[in-house]
């Protein structure tokens, strides 16, 4: 199983994946004139819905890091520095729900 954006819902790409024995979990492109290459063979399965929901959750994290944390314009150069800055922003993203949980525990006490 492979997951991709709806830009990859091209008939040739999806057909190549199916020939290779890979289930394409590509988001359906409903606005495209030629229709999406993802048809009824893939969408009714429970795993398709789960993978699309997982993709949305992952994209939410990246969107927050780019918008709120300012990672859109990065000043660091090099893989090591970029990785360190990205991990720092990722930790900050996960600290926000933790602080909300701690506040609710304090309110209950």
The pLDDT tens digits for 57-100 are 778 888 888 887 777 777 778 889 888 888 888 888 888 888 88
Identify whether residues 7 and 32 lie together within a single domain: yes
Bigger pLDDT: 40 vs 64: 64
- pTM value? 0.52
Identify whether residues 80 and 58 lie together within a single domain: no
| Rg of the chain in Å (alpha carbons) | 19
Query: What's the number of domains the chain is made of?
Result: 2
Identify whether residues 54 and 24 lie together within a single domain: yes
Identify whether residues 62 and 79 lie together within a single domain: no
Angstrom distance (rounded) from CA 27 to CA 46: 14
Provide the 3-class DSSP secondary structure of residue 7: helix
8 A C-beta contact, residue 38 and residue 1: no
Domain extent at residue 98: 74-109
Identify whether residues 80 and 55 lie together within a single domain: no
Identify whether residues 54 and 107 lie together within a single domain: no
8 A C-beta contact, residue 92 and residue 70: no
Identify whether residues 55 and 91 lie together within a single domain: no
Beta strands 2-4; 24-26: pairing state:
parallel
């Amino acid at each position: 199983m492979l997951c991709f954006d709806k830009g990859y819902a091209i008939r040739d790409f999806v057909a190549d994946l199916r020939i290779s024995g890979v289930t394409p979990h590509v988001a359906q492109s409903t606005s495209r004139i030629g229709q999406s290459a993802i048809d009824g063979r893939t969408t009714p399965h429970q795993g398709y819905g789960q993978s699309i929901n997982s993709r949305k959750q992952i994209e939410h994290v990246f969107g927050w890091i780019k918008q709120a944390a300012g990672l859109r314009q990065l000043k660091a150069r090099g893989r090591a520095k970029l990785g360190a800055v990205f991990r720092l922003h990722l930790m900050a993203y996960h600290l926000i729900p933790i602080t909300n949980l701690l506040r609710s525990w304090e309110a209950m006490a």
